[in-house]
Amino acid sequence: MARSNKADRELTEVFNQLWALDTNRLTPGTDYVISLQGKAGYVAQGSNNARDRAHAPLFSYVNEEKLKSIETYAHFINLLDNYESSTGVSETVTTEELKENRLFIDAIMETDVMKCTHNYLVRKRLSPSNPQQFKKQLYDIWFKLYHRDRNGGEDSCGFEHVFVGETKYNHEIMGLHNWVQFYLQEKHGNVDYKGYKARQNKDTPDEDDHVLSLQFSWKGLVKPMGSSFIGVSPEFEVALFTIIFLMSTEKMTSVEVKVDEYVLELVVYRHGRSIATSYPKLLSSNNRDL
């Protein structure tokens, strides 16, 4: 396990550059509105009994027209539909889906966030300078299918686990760390938000926070706690986790960084040359101690 305990200065600097370049990040209170409601209680891993401290959805409003008018989100939303959520069910990848994977990579590569990421990785000698070869590297990290379940076929990929979410043996939620997917699943009645997670009462999050810890159920299964970026673009998340993934060959890498006002631990697990999972863990915000 590779880990840096103190806030990593170089990565903090790079990630804040990317934060500043993320012009596709949505504005809380304008482009979307969330309703945090109550603080969620303790739920043991594997238990599906959670008291609902939030009777309304997390997302009260999202400007979907704006979302779908931004190219990277439009391709991202297409991709969310393409994955079977049960691990162990072999993915049938159609030519159309392969094309959509590539269109998403093409779209994010047009953004300043990914151009800056590419330049940084080339400087660090972690990525090829040729944009086509870099796209292939991104493809292998995020879209190459692998066996997550030993008994099954090629049933998983990094993108699916991190952004879409999967269920394991129908009794545990894996992944689902993305706010757009959370919103869409909530809208379709598959996600039930149970409340925010915070250590101590002094640590109540704000409704304009861009990183939150949540408790929710998805298709009847409870996730006791999951952290997500809220409102950030898909390219921003791909950028952060790609950089951390390429920094190390360890099975698990975790770095502590301060992005904007958020002190985060960013965690990446690898599966060979692909991402197994990655997520943010909120340590503190606005100098609040979590």
Catalytic status, residue 171: no
Distance CA 277, CA 274 (A): 9
Which of 135, 144, 197, 223 is labelled catalytic? 223
Distance CA 184, CA 80 (A): 9
Catalytic status, residue 177: yes
The whole-angstrom distance between residue 3's C-alpha and the CA centroid of its chain comes to 20
Dihedral sign from CA coordinates of 44, 47, 51, 55: positive
Beta carbons within 10 angstroms of residue 43's beta carbon: 19
Beta carbons within 10 angstroms of residue 247's beta carbon: 18
b vs e for 147-156, b when ≥16 Cβ sit within 10 Å of the residue's Cβ? ebbeeeeebb
Dihedral sign from CA coordinates of 100, 163, 169, 88: positive
Cβ–Cβ under 8 Å, residues 16 and 264: no
Which of 118, 135, 177, 210 is labelled catalytic? 177
Which of 135, 161, 197, 258 is labelled catalytic? 161
Catalytic status, residue 75: no
Catalytic residue numbers, as ranges: 161, 177, 223
